[in-house]
Amino acid sequence: MTPLGQRLARQIAASGPMTVADYMAACLGDPEHGYYTTRDPLGAGGDFTTAPEISQMFGELVGLALAQGWLDQGAPAPFALAEPGPGRGTLMADILRATRAVPGFHDALRLHLVETSPALRQAQAATLGRDDITWHDSITALPDLPLFLVANEFFDALPIRQAVREGAAWRERVVGLRDGALCLGLSDPTPLPQLAHRLEDTRDGDIVEFSPAAEAIAAEIGPRIATRGGAALIVDYGDWRSLGDTLQAVRRHEHADPLAEPGEADLTAHVDFEALAQAAQPCSASRLTPQGVFLERLGITQRAQALARGLTGAELETHVAAHRRLTHPAEMGTLFKVMALFPKTATPPPGLDA
């Protein structure tokens, strides 16, 4: 077992099973052994890749959508351009480059990144090469300004709890010990008032996931945008309502057992967008839109053609494959969804419907 696994096993032996959320939080964020704390998982020889790492087109279009949202709201100045979980900083670098020609945008923006991982803060500083970045540990520390925020594959990294329905009650999935090894178990049945609405659309034995951490962040962003103006573009895999066990571990681009190597594999779960939209009130939420549809509406095909003109051979092939990967329903196009949060008095950023 990994050093973190040994420590968690001792903890469970001493004080009993832990929730999936506490397990996930330890695996990802433990200050000493956490997955994100100790490495850049997107780097060469890393564990997974993301849309902005696949092609510059993703960040360019997201940046122009945010900038158009900013113009549509009267170009407030100054405003916070914020990103939680910026990874290697690639998305923000593409956003900044693509928006350079938007009059006033760069003068008005104040750059705020929310990142808990020291390793990734370093990568972001290197990629962005600017001296005007403010980093925060928590979204609550963002300044009181109009807020234009982008979050790509951030919410999927937040800890989830899992509950198995039993009558009108739920048994929570917990991580315990069997013969010295970590294993999944179930708590005694308890009522979970926060899942009352899921008694309508589930049956005995169904697994429902919820993320108090994700909801708390949406509850922080939503009211800020509602009162100060701005927009949040949230891109992630998931659906309007979660159903079933979506906890997954990925290591070196392969699926792994989430309990096998605590701290050494990336752990994620699908995002429940309905829960984010609810928590973000009084902000409005756009319709949940497949990533492929969103990018096509923003003109990714025209952008891909323009970039293709300068390419030949293997570079051209990689570029064509990247376009397909971001948009095709069999790749990221349908699994990944986009939702915007925006003030009730505003329209959503381009590419999305109210």
Q: Does 211 bind ligand SAH (CB under 6 A)?
A: no
Identify the three-state secondary structure at position 38: coil
Q: Does 53 bind ligand SAH (CB under 6 A)?
A: yes
Q: Does 116 bind ligand SAH (CB under 6 A)?
A: yes
Cα separation, 161 vs 174, in Å, equals 9
Q: Does 263 bind ligand SAH (CB under 6 A)?
A: no
Q: Return the biggest CA–CA distance within the chain.
A: 64
Residue 88 Cβ, how far from ligand SAH at the closest point, in Å?
6
Q: Does 50 bind ligand SAH (CB under 6 A)?
A: yes
Cα separation, 318 vs 232, in Å, equals 30
Q: Does 52 bind ligand SAH (CB under 6 A)?
A: yes
Residue 269 Cβ, how far from ligand SAH at the closest point, in Å?
12
Token pair in block for residue 74: 């009267």
Which region, judged by CB under 6 A, interacts with ligand SAH, from 45-53, 96-104, 127-135, 225-233?
Answer: 45-53
DSSP 257: -
Specify whether the backbone of 163 is left (phi greater than 0), alpha (psi in -120 to 50) or beta.
beta
Cα separation, 150 vs 230, in Å, equals 11
* Pairing mode, strands 289-290 and 181-186: unpaired
Q: What are phi and psi of 224, to 5 degrees?
A: -60, -45
Which region, judged by CB under 6 A, interacts with ligand SAH, from 82-90, 297-305, 309-317, 319-327?
Answer: 82-90
Token pair in block for residue 95: 């956003």
Q: Does 96 bind ligand SAH (CB under 6 A)?
A: no
Contact (CB, 8 A) for 228 and 342: no
Which region, judged by CB under 6 A, interacts with ligand SAH, from 79-87, 238-246, 269-277, 299-307?
Answer: 79-87
Residue 253 Cβ, how far from ligand SAH at the closest point, in Å?
14
Q: 329 vs 1, 193, 287, 292, CA distance in Å?
A: 38, 36, 18, 7
Q: Which of 80, 82, 98, 114 touches ligand SAH by CB under 6 A?
A: 114
Q: Which of 87, 258, 262, 333 touches ligand SAH by CB under 6 A?
A: 87
Cα separation, 81 vs 124, in Å, equals 15
Q: Does 55 bind ligand SAH (CB under 6 A)?
A: no
Cα separation, 30 vs 27, in Å, equals 6
Q: Concatenated DSSP letters for 132-189?
A: -EEEESSGGGS-SS-EEEEEES-GGGS--EEEEEETTEEEEEEEEEETTEEEEEEPPP
Q: Does 245 bind ligand SAH (CB under 6 A)?
A: no
Count of residues that bind ligand SAH according to CB under 6 A: 20
Residue 86 Cβ, how far from ligand SAH at the closest point, in Å?
6
Nearer to ligand SAH, 111 or 346 (CB): 111
Site string for ligand SAH, 120-159 (x = CB under 6 A): x-------------------------------xxx--x--
Cα separation, 31 vs 23, in Å, equals 14
Nearer to ligand SAH, 48 or 77 (CB): 48
Q: Which of 85, 229, 258, 350 touches ligand SAH by CB under 6 A?
A: 85
DSSP 240: S
Residue 27 Cβ, how far from ligand SAH at the closest point, in Å?
11
Which region, judged by CB under 6 A, interacts with ligand SAH, from 49-57, 183-191, 204-212, 323-331?
Answer: 49-57
Residues that bind ligand SAH in the complex, under the rule CB under 6 A = 28, 36, 42, 50, 52-53, 84-87, 91, 114-117, 120, 152-154, 157
